[in-house]
Amino acid sequence: MASVSFHDIKKAYGKVEVLHGLGFDIADGEFVVLVGPSGCGKSTLLRMLAGLEEISGGEIKIDGKVVNDLESKDRDIAMVFQSYALYPHMTVRDNMGFSLRLRKADAGATAKRVDEAARILNLDKLLDRFPRELSGGQRQRVAMGRAIVRDPKVFLFDEPLSNLDAKLRVAMRAEIKALHQRLKTTTVYVTHDQIEAMTMADRIVVMHDGIIEQIGTPLELFDRPGNLFVAQFIGSPAMNVFDGKVHGSVVKALGQEWPLPPGLVVAQGASVHFGIRPTDLMLSADGVAAEVVVVEPTGAETELLVEVGGQQVTVVMHGRTDAKPGETVHLTYDTTKAHAFDAANGKRL
Ligand SMILES: Nc1ncnc2c1ncn2[C@@H]1O[C@H](COP(=O)(O)OP(=O)(O)OP(=O)(O)O)[C@@H](O)[C@H]1O
Ligand SMILES: [Mg+2]
């Protein structure tokens, strides 16, 4: 196990800089998720940590030791990719033990490590099968098994679940989390799926265009997003955002008055983005009038798309509703859970 630290990390391909000086620390045993839209530099950063990509500027340390010039194989890191890249002509057992055999490890010790990993991953009964005889989720577990037997200081995952169907993805998500709780190996996990990030991470690093937008625990990012980008990226369905101007203790937007969170003082006339999560809006007898556009029952919850002042607004409510498209409903919200962001720079107010 090990700590990892990034200091002022830059990456350029030719003249194009794709990482612009990133810095953060990962504690020993922590599960950190890098999340952000496609092309923001997640895989690049992970591959730099793995030693598969040259570092254009800055320092990466593992356990306090600079590894910039250390070869990948000497970094004691195991990486699991989106494509599991198992050897098709080898059994599960041989696939899992391959890296140890390559290192000329003792055969008895290798067998023991493979058996132990197979037990942890519930692969004991599949050890003599070939990859073509496995389901997608089982193959994914073999790929993880291959990483586990190496007993690395750090696990790196790059979108390991994106090839799996939705149900399997949820199951594997829980398995990886349980695995981390058992092994407590420092883990860096890349995904563009914010639900995966929320459910798995000790801390999330939100990246965007080669910079870090915010670092925090899942609920810190959800409850107090530091800027508009994080506010709209974290949380599903996304936060509703209205553009308006501050008058006294309300924001005037969409032809309505929206009370600001109590205690939040914003300059009069300031332009703001005012945000309310779909789950923080409620249907009530009075409040802001809205026209129902679409009603989507999912069983336990109902998602409503409504229109206020020409803008579509999403409401997620517990339970069910009789509301029908074309009808008028009224919305209220818990003002302590509203968010306001500076219209000029997107920063939280
Ligand atoms: N070998 C390369 N040469 C030039 N540009 C590259 C190279 N590899 C990546 N890039 C660019 O670097 C940026 C970051 O790429 P990266 O693969 O890290 O994104 P990502 O966040 O992992 O995205 P995704 O979610 O799509 O996997 C992108 O703009 C990409 O086009
Ligand atoms: Mg990537």
138: enclosing H helix or E strand: helix 136-149
| Contact in structure between 260 and 306 (CB atoms under 8 Å) | no
Q: Which strands sit side by side in the sheet containing 256-259, from one edge to the other?
A: 256-259, 250-253, 240-247, 271-276, 339-342
Closest ligand 1 atom to Cα of 40: 21
- For residues 172 and 170, give the distance between their C-alpha atoms in angstroms, rounded to a whole number: 6
Evaluated on CA atoms 46, 50, 53, 59, the torsion sign reads: positive
Q: What is the pLDDT of residue 21?
A: 97
Residue 158 alpha carbon to ligand 2 centre in Å: 7
Residue 265 alpha carbon to ligand 2 centre in Å: 41
Query: Residues 25-69: pLDDT tens digits?
Result: 999 999 999 999 999 999 999 999 999 999 999 999 999 999 999
User: Which bound ligand lies closest to the C-alpha atom of 37?
Assistant: 1
* Burial per residue of 115-148, b for 16 or more beta-carbon CB atoms within 10 angstroms, e otherwise: bebbebbebeebbeebbeebeebbbbbbbbbbbb
Query: Residues 117-138: pLDDT tens digits?
Result: 898 888 999 999 999 999 888 8
Pairing of strands 31-35, 186-191: parallel
DSSP helix, strand, coil percent of the chain (3-state; round to 5): 30, 35, 35
Architecture of domain 4-226: 3-Layer(aba) Sandwich (3.40)
Q: What is the pLDDT of residue 54?
A: 95
> Is 270 a pocket residue for ligand 1 (Cβ < 6 Å)?
no
> Is 40 a pocket residue for ligand 1 (Cβ < 6 Å)?
yes
| Contact in structure between 161 and 169 (CB atoms under 8 Å) | yes
Low-confidence ranges of the chain (pLDDT < 70): none
Residue 42 alpha carbon to ligand 2 centre in Å: 6
Residue with CA closest to ligand 1 atom 5:
13
> Is 44 a pocket residue for ligand 1 (Cβ < 6 Å)?
yes
Q: What is the pLDDT of residue 164?
A: 79
Residue 37 alpha carbon to ligand 2 centre in Å: 9
Kindly state the tokens that stand for 199: 């459910």
Mutating to test ligand 1, I would choose from 13, 46, 81, 163 the residue with most ligand atoms within 8 A of its C-beta, which is 13
- For residues 234 and 237, give the distance between their C-alpha atoms in angstroms, rounded to a whole number: 9
| Contact in structure between 159 and 191 (CB atoms under 8 Å) | yes
> Is 208 a pocket residue for ligand 1 (Cβ < 6 Å)?
no
Q: What is the pLDDT of residue 168?
A: 80
SS3 track for 58-76: EEEEECCEECCCCCHHHCC
Q: What is the pLDDT of residue 65?
A: 95
Domain boundaries, the chain: 4-226, 240-342
Residue 303 alpha carbon to ligand 2 centre in Å: 31
Q: What is the pLDDT of residue 120?
A: 84
Closest ligand 1 atom to Cα of 36: 21
Query: Residues 4-17: pLDDT tens digits?
Result: 999 999 999 999 99
**Do the domains 240-342 and 4-226 match in fold?**
no
Mutating to test ligand 1, I would choose from 42, 81, 209 the residue with most ligand atoms within 8 A of its C-beta, which is 42
Which among 60, 5, 11 has a CA at the least distance from the CA of 28? 5
Query: What's the angle, vertex CA 344, arms to CA 11 and CA 20, rounded to 5?
Result: 5
Evaluated on CA atoms 341, 347, 348, 349, the torsion sign reads: negative
Amino acid at 6: F
Provide the CATH topology of domain 240-342.
OB fold (Dihydrolipoamide Acetyltransferase, E2P) (2.40.50)
119: enclosing H helix or E strand: helix 107-120
Which among 222, 277, 225, 212 has a CA at the least distance from the CA of 35? 212
Backbone angles phi and psi of 212, in degrees to 5: -95, 125
Q: What is the pLDDT of residue 95?
A: 95
Answer left, alpha or beta for residue 325, where phi above 0 means left and psi between -120 and 50 means alpha.
beta
User: Which bound ligand lies closest to the C-alpha atom of 36?
Assistant: 1
Query: What's the angle, vertex CA 197, arms to CA 75 and CA 296, rounded to 5?
Result: 160
